């Protein structure tokens, strides 16, 4: 049973990773329900919807997305991130007034992270796990959570 669950988790991670890769260099949330400066949850919601259908309520807020992922039977929290996992530092949980907004993205290979670029509104490889930790945990005081599709 554990092997079957593990294989399903790996297939789901691979599917989410491939979908995220397909959006590199384009606007992953072209309806712009959130402005590009705050479009990370909008983009990740769009990618999840494109990949798995409406399994998670569409969100434009990292705080709401964290709560949805945490309560969803379709996602589990993991401490050992791998490609295709979601990384999130939810708004409202940071301790730095200089950094009022959290961020969400999808882990790629080699610990790269794909997320919405506030500067361009495009889905890009713009972090690594180490640079995310330096920015959101060390500078912003945010917790970092990883979620995996089951």
Alpha-carbon distance of 23 to 29, in angstroms, equals 10
pLDDT value at residue 98:
82
pLDDT at 102 (0 to 100)? 94
Strand order, beta sheet including 103-107? 75-78, 145-149, 86-89, 103-107, 112-116, 123-128
Helix, coil or strand: residue 82: coil
User: What pLDDT score does 28 carry?
Assistant: 76
pLDDT at residue 32, as a whole number = 58
CA distances from 24 to 17, 39, 67, 129, 148 (A): 11, 15, 26, 18, 20
Q: pTM of this prediction?
A: 0.91
Token pair for 32: 């712009």
How high is the pLDDT of residue 16? 98
CATH number given to 2-149: 3.90.1720.10
| Distance of alpha carbon 138 from alpha carbon 150, whole angstroms | 30
Task: Report d(CA 91, CA 1) in Å as an integer.
Answer: 37
Task: Give residue for tokens 């950094």.
Answer: 99
Please tell me the predicted confidence (pLDDT) of residue 120: 86
Structure tokens at 95: 């301790």
What is the per-residue pLDDT for 29? 76
Q: Splitting the chain (150 residues) into consecutive groups of 10 residues, what average pLDDT does each group show?
A: 63 96 85 60 95 94 96 96 97 86 95 92 94 96 97
């Amino acid at each position: 049973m554990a092997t079957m669950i593990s294989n399903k988790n790996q297939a789901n991670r691979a599917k989410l990773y491939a979908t995220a890769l397909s959006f590199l260099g384009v606007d992953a949330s072209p309806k712009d329900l959130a402005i590009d400066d705050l479009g990370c949850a909008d983009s990740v919601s769009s990618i999840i919807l494109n990949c798995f259908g409406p399994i998670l309520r569409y969100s434009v807020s990292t705080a709401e997305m964290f709560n949805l992922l945490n309560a969803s039977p379709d996602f589990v929290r993991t401490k050992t991130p791998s490609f295709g996992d979601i990384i999130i530092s939810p708004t409202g949980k940071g301790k730095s007034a200089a950094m009022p907004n959290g961020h969400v993205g999808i882990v790629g290979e080699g610990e790269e992270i794909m997320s919405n670029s506030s500067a361009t509104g495009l889905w890009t490889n713009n972090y690594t796990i180490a640079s995310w930790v330096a920015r959101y945990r060390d500078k912003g005081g945010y917790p970092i959570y990883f979620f995996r599709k089951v």
